[in-house]
Amino acid sequence: MRDAYHEELDSIGEGLVEMARLVGSAIGRATTAMLDADLKLAESVIEADKKVDDLQHDLEARAIALLARQQPVATDLRIVVTSLRMSADLERSGDLAQHVAKLTRLRFPERAVPRDLHATILEMGQLAQRLMAKAAEVIITKDVDLALQLESDDDAMDLLHRTLFQHLMDDRWKHGIETAVDVTLLGRYYERFADHAVSVAKRVVYLVTGEHADELQADIQPVQPVAGVEGA
């Protein structure tokens, strides 16, 4: 039997999983809306982000109430503080999905992304959604191996991001500056979204092992740096 305290702690975990589910769905829908220039779907993504924000506020309030009431120490304290950070990552991911949807709305009825980049953007959107689904699974299972997998998935996102830049920098680019600006921002949104999913997983690793994911990762495989525009 679980006591009220641990039930509350569990329910915070469930809130995080629900947030991850919502923002994962949002980035998938936002990508579809963009590639189809579907204004209605884009509007629904923009609208739905409020739900994510509400969940975050609720979750934060409960985490702080738990700190005040139960005054957890050691591992439990670390769980609550880490949950606050994860909720911030997830809230920000929701914003990024919303940015994709807003760009779709801004360019409607035109498409923000030219045809020859659809495949790359679709892949970025799918990968982003998959990363977030895995992050949710990591929150539920606390599976450290799965969490470390997210980092190599993130390398795949970096490669896609580079592909996008190669298209942009290609002399045969014929879509003009406005589209180049849009595509640059989109690439950044997907990449940051992926970063936040990885960050969520890393925080779980830290909770479970007490070690930062980078240290564990270094023992397992050398990380290949991806060249390109720094921080893009």
To the nearest whole angstrom, how small is the minimum distance from the Cβ of residue 165 to a copy of itself? 7
Q: List residues near a copy of itself by CB under 8 A.
A: 64, 67-68, 71, 73-74, 77-78, 81, 84-85, 88, 95-96, 98-99, 102-103, 105-106, 165, 168-169, 173, 177-178, 180-182, 184-185, 188-189, 229-232
Q: Give the residue with the Cβ less far from a copy of itself, 43 or 143.
A: 43
φ/ψ of residue 164, rounded to 5: -60, -45
**Beta carbon of residue 126, minimum distance to a copy of itself (angstroms, whole number):** 21
Task: Please tell me the distance from the alpha carbon of residue 151 to that of residue 225, in angstroms, as a whole number.
Answer: 12
Give whichever of 95 and 151 is closer to a copy of itself, judged by the CB atom: 95
Considering only CA atoms, which of 110, 95, 124, 125 is closest in space to residue 32?
Answer: 125
In the complex with a copy of itself, the residue whose CB is nearer, 145 or 170, is 170
- Residue-wise DSSP of 86-118: HHHHHHHHHHHHHHHHHHHHHHTTS-SS-GGGH
CB of 80 to a copy of itself, least distance (A): 9
> Based on CB atoms, which residue is closest to a copy of itself, 51 or 175?
175
* Closest CB 2 distance from a copy of itself, rounded Å: 22
In the complex with a copy of itself, the residue whose CB is nearer, 146 or 185, is 185
Angstrom CA distances, 223 to 15, 81, 138, 154, 217, stand at: 32, 28, 21, 11, 8
| Residue (of 126, 232, 153) closest to 186 by Cα position | 232
- 46-59: burial string, b at 16+ Cβ within 10 Å, e else: bebbeebeebbeeb
Instruction: Name the minimum Å distance from CB 215 to a copy of itself.
Output: 13
